Amino acid sequence: MMVDILSAEIVSESEEAQASAVSWAAIIAGGFASAALTLALLAFGAGIGLAAVSPWMNSGISSRTFGISAGIYLCLVAIMASSIGGYLAGRLRTKWVGVHSHEVYFRDTAHGFLAWAFATVISVAFLASAAANIVGGGSGGFTQELGGKVGQSVGPMATFVDLALRSNPATTRNDAVESAAARGEIDRLFTSHLSAGEEFSPADRTYLAQLVAARTGLNQSDAEKRVSLVIAQAKGGLDDARKAGARFALWLTASLFLGAFSASLAATEGGGVRDGTWKYS
């Protein structure tokens, strides 16, 4: 009798050692659920106005407040979606028999973390473009439609080129070919210098002022002042974009860490419910 019991225990331990501790089906299911819920919540956020700042002056919230609100919502999305995915990964995994409670807790947290990692990879690989279209759909679609109507592409420096060449319509020379050539040259000068973070040389500033003077009718001194003003505005705009990108990266990092923690914690609850050891007080 004792021999049979010992043999059964040895066989059970051998099977446990050979069996995988990872339930990939539960992890994949939790990851897909988390990714789908993330997309749904991003769509909801866009619907309630967390996708764009109001174009009307003194209406809605400021861009800084909007950035903070969007960042907080991004963290909430990560917590909610990752918690659901982690809970499903823990609840749907196989039941481990003869495993210490500490090992069960570790495996549950690992399942939640792997579900979060799987959902993150899916979101980056397949859902990034869809989420970007949802978040920036309104303003992006309007820009593309406007660009199509005017018959030309709108580059990142087009606004500053317009500011540099702004003139009195009554005195403006109406040479479309020459105007397009001047705009293209100014655009290339701005793009090459500002994208590389280089200062405009005195020769480039003088040449830009000559182009502006020729197209607008300003004298050389006023044209140089306008060029200096537009360069300062362009640098300010790029610096604001850089700061906004840095803030978004910090919010994204925070949301990822919160999502990983939430998924791991929720998986322990799901696993406990699965094993009948979780008690709701």
pLDDT band for position 261 (50/70/90)? very high
Q: In this predicted structure, what is the pLDDT of residue 153?
A: 45
Q: In this predicted structure, what is the pLDDT of residue 43?
A: 87
Query: pLDDT at residue 183 above 80?
Result: no
Query: pLDDT at residue 59 above 80?
Result: no
Q: Which residue has the higher pLDDT, 279 or 130?
A: 279
Q: In this predicted structure, what is the pLDDT of residue 260?
A: 97
Average pLDDT, the chain: 77
Query: pLDDT at residue 131 above 60?
Result: no
Q: Which residue has the higher pLDDT, 151 or 199?
A: 199
Domains of the chain, by residue range, sit at: 23-151+244-275, 158-237
pLDDT band for position 235 (50/70/90)? confident
Q: In this predicted structure, what is the pLDDT of residue 6?
A: 47
Identify which of 239, 110, 222, 217 has the alpha carbon closest to the alpha carbon of residue 172.
Answer: 217
DSSP string, the chain: -HHHHHHHHHHHHHHHHHS-S--HHHHHHHHHHHHHHHHHHHHHHHHTT-SS--SSTT-S--HHHHHHHHHHHHHHHHHHHHHHHHHHHHHHSPPPSS--HHHHHHHHHHHHHHHHHHHHHHIIIIIHHHHHHHHHHHHHHHHHHHHHHHTS---TTHHHHHHHH---TTT----HHHHHHHHHHHHHHHHHHHHTTPPPPHHHHHHHHHHHHHHH---HHHHHHHHHHHHHHHHHHHHHHHHHHHHHHHHHHHHHHHHHHHHHHHHHHHHHHHHT-----
Q: Please state the rounded mean pLDDT for residues 143-168.
A: 51
